[in-house]
Structure 1
C-alpha cells in the first residue's frame, strides 16, 4: 500500500472547502458553522460554532484529536486528510451522481463511503410524518432536482407551473397531477420503470404503512426500490459467492462486514445504520416468516472470517438454526471439483404473489443493478437451478455447516 505526502492545503482552507461542499438536505444550502456544531455536539463532542469559525480563521489551528475526529466524521472524511497528515492511500472509487455532497470530489488519501455523513444522519433522523401532507414525495423531488442540477425555474417551466407553486410542491403542501409528476421524474433522470412506479405509489399514499417509508428521503432510490421488492416478495432465490444473505446474518456479522466495506475508516454512523436496516428487514420478513428464502452460499464465503473467529462461529450457529425454520432452504456450494460457478457472482431473484414478473438484483460496487428483461431473468433462474444441483443437498446442509464450524475452530 502506498503513502501520500502531506496535504498542501491548510486546515482553515480545508474547512472552508468542506463547508462549501457539504449541503444541508433540508435547505439545499451549505451547512453553517453553528449547524455543524449542533450536529457534532449531538454525537457527544462539545464544540461551538464560534470555535469552528475560529479554526477557519486561525493561522496555526491546533484542535484536539477528539475534536478533529468529530469534525472529520461530520464531513465524512478521515481525520488524517482533514489535518493534512500522512495517511494510507485509498484509491477513490467511482461514484454515481449524488453519492457525494454537491460538487464535491474525493481528495487523494480520503476514504469515501457510499453514503456521506450528512446522508447517514438524514436516514437516521427518519422522516417528518409526510403521510399527512398532500404531497408525500415533495422532499424527494427536491433532492432529485438538486442532484440533477436543475433549477426551480427550469423545472417549473417544464411542467408549466409558477415557481412558487413548485416550491410548495417540494415542501409537500401541494399535489402534482400524475402527468406532471411523470414529466419531472423523467427530467430528473428517474427512467427505470420500477423506481418511477415506486415513487408514484408513494405519492398516491399506497406505501404509508411500509416499514421502509421513513427512509424515503434519506436513502438512494435504487436501494429503496430494493427494500420494497424484498418486502413484497413471496420467494427470494439467492446466490452469494463472497458473503452471506443479509436476511440470514447476525448483527455481529453485519457490523464486521460493514466495517470491512468501509475499511480503513469505518465511521460508527455507517455501521449502525447498516445494523438498523438489517434488523428491521429481518424483523419484518424472518421473524414473521413472511417470505421463503432459497439461498446457495459459496463455501469460501463461510470460511472467510469477517471480523474474528467468534463472529464467524456465531454466524454458522445462526445459519444452522435458520435451516430448521420452515421458510429457509440453504445449500452450500463446495469449493473445487466439478462445481458450477456462475459468471458474474452473487445475485437475488425475487418472485412475487400474483402475475407480477420475477426480477433480479445484482450487487455492484456503488449501486445494485436491477434486471427485469424476461430473457435475462430466465438466465438467472437457470443459473440458480444449476447451483442447486451443484451444491450439497438441502438435507446435508446442517452437517456441512457443522464441519465448516469445526474447521474454523481448528484454525482459530
Structure 2
C-alpha cells in the first residue's frame, strides 16, 4: 500500500500543481499552510498532518482522504448515474441513529458480497485533469456555477453527493481549480444535464478539446450555446420561417424590432441589446470563406408584415435582395395565396455537417426557447416537410422578382 507522501507527490504531479499553488489555495479556504510545509509532506519529512489539512488537500486534489492515505481505491466518476443514486441513498441516511447506521452499513456489506463486489470500488490511478487555459477554466467555472444555481443546490449539497470538499467546489466555481473531466461529468449528472449534445458541448471544454468561444459567455444559456456551436459547425443550414425574416438574414434594426415584438427567446439574455448582439455575432458565419450553404424558405407574409415601420421594412427587403444574389445563400418564398403545401409545424432549422458519418440535426423554434431534435425519425419528418416546401416555393430568379415587387410597394 502506498504511503501518504507517495500519494501526495503522485497527485500533485498528475494535476500539475506546485506547492505554492496548494498552499495559497488552502490558505484562501481558511486553512493556512506554507509552501515549505507542503514540500515536507510531499517528501515524507512531515508525516502527521491534521485531519483538517488532510481533508482540505483531498478536496483540492479531487481525491478521497482514504486514497491520499494510501488505500487502493478512488472514486473515478465512471458509473455516474449509479454513483449519484448511491449518494442519494447516503443523503437519506442523514439524521439516523448510530444503531440504524450500523444496520444500514451491514445491509450494504451483505449486498456487496452478494454481488461479488469488493469492500470498496477499485481503481488503479488518479483521473487526469485536462490542461486548460485560464480562459477555459473561467468559462467552465461560470457554467458549472450557473448549472448548480439552476438546480437549486448549495456547494454543501454538491460536496455531499460527490464526496468532494466544499473548498474544492468553491475553488472550481471561482476558476481557481481545473476539475477533472470525470468530476465535471458527475456534476452535470447531479445538475440534471442529460441531453447528449449539451453534455458533450460542456465536456469538450472540460477535456481541453476546444477553447471557449463567444457563445460560452455566462449570458448565453447552455442550451443556446450548444445550438450556436452546432450552427457554426454546419456545412448546410436549411431553415423555414413563417412570421419573420430568417434571423441570420435580418438587419440590425429589423432584428431589434423582431426581438421586441416576440420577446426575449434566449434564456439568460436580459436585454434587447444583448439579444441583438448575439444575433449579429451569429450572422458572421455566412460571410466566412468556409461558411455554410444557407437555404431558407420564408412565408410571403413575412415580407408584407411591417413590424417596425415601412423604413425598416424597406431596408430589410434591400438586404434580402443582396443576400439572394450571394452564391451560398438561397432564399425561396412560400406564396401567400393558394399554397400547395403548409406544414403543421412552426419554424424549424436543419443542420448538416461536413463529417460524412455525423447525422443531421433539427432545431424546432418554439415560443419561449428552441429544442434540439436528435431522433432520426423526427429529423426525417422535418426533411420531408422542407422538401415539400421547396417544390412549391419560388425559384432563385422568381425570388428576386418578388423581393423587388415588395420593395417597390414601399416606395423609394
Deviation by residue 1:179-214 (Cα, 9 ceiling, x = unmatched): 32212111112111111111111222333163434x
User: Residue 167 of structure 1 aligns with which residue?
Assistant: 170
**1:402 is paired with a residue of what secondary structure?**
helix
Q: Measure how far apart 1:139 and its partner are.
A: 2.0
Pairwise mapping of residues 96-245 of structure 1 onto structure 2 (< 5 A)?
131-132=134-135, 134=137, 136-208=139-211, 210-213=213-216, 215=217, 217-245=218-246
**1:279 is paired with a residue of what secondary structure?**
helix
Say if 1:135 and 1:176 are closer, same or farther in 2 by CA, change over 3 A.
farther
Conserved? CA contact 1:135–1:176, under 8 Å: no
Conserved? CA contact 2:135–2:212, under 8 Å: no
In 2, the alpha carbon distance for the partners of 1:138 and 1:270 equals: 23
Q: Measure how far apart 1:134 and its partner are.
A: 4.6
Pairwise mapping of residues 382-401 of structure 1 onto structure 2 (< 5 A)?
382-401=384-403
User: Residue 309 of structure 1 aligns with which residue?
Assistant: 310
Conserved? CA contact 2:155–2:169, under 8 Å: yes
**2:271 is paired with a residue of what secondary structure?**
helix
User: Residue 364 of structure 2 aligns with which residue?
Assistant: 362
In 1, the alpha carbon distance for the partners of 2:161 and 2:243 equals: 46
Select between 200-209 and 315-324 the one with higher mean Cα deviation: 200-209
Deviation by residue 1:63-109 (Cα, 9 ceiling, x = unmatched): xxxxxxxxxxxxxxxxxxxxxxxxxxxxxxxxxxxxxxxxxxxxxxx
Deviation by residue 1:152-204 (Cα, 9 ceiling, x = unmatched): 12211222111111111111222323232212111112111111111111222
Q: Which blocks of at least 5 consecutive residues in structure 2 are unaligned?
A: 1-131
Q: Which blocks of at least 5 consecutive residues in structure 1 are unaligned?
A: 1-128
Q: Measure how far apart 1:229 and its partner are.
A: 1.0
RMSD: 2.2
In 2, the alpha carbon distance for the partners of 1:374 and 1:347 equals: 15
Q: Measure how far apart 1:133 and its partner are.
A: 5.9
Conserved? CA contact 2:198–2:222, under 8 Å: yes
Count of residue pairs the alignment pairs up = 276
Say if 1:300 and 1:202 are closer, same or farther in 2 by CA, change over 3 A.
same
Deviation by residue 1:357-395 (Cα, 9 ceiling, x = unmatched): 111111112210110100100110111100000111223
Say if 1:289 and 1:402 are closer, same or farther in 2 by CA, change over 3 A.
farther
User: Residue 251 of structure 2 aligns with which residue?
Assistant: 250
Say if 1:345 and 1:408 are closer, same or farther in 2 by CA, change over 3 A.
farther
Q: Measure how far apart 1:245 and its partner are.
A: 1.3
User: Residue 321 of structure 1 aligns with which residue?
Assistant: 322
Q: Measure how far apart 1:287 and its partner are.
A: 5.2
User: Residue 404 of structure 1 aligns with which residue?
Assistant: 406
Q: Measure how far apart 1:288 and its partner are.
A: 4.1
Conserved? CA contact 1:130–1:172, under 8 Å: no
Conserved? CA contact 1:136–1:203, under 8 Å: no
User: Residue 280 of structure 2 aligns with which residue?
Assistant: 279
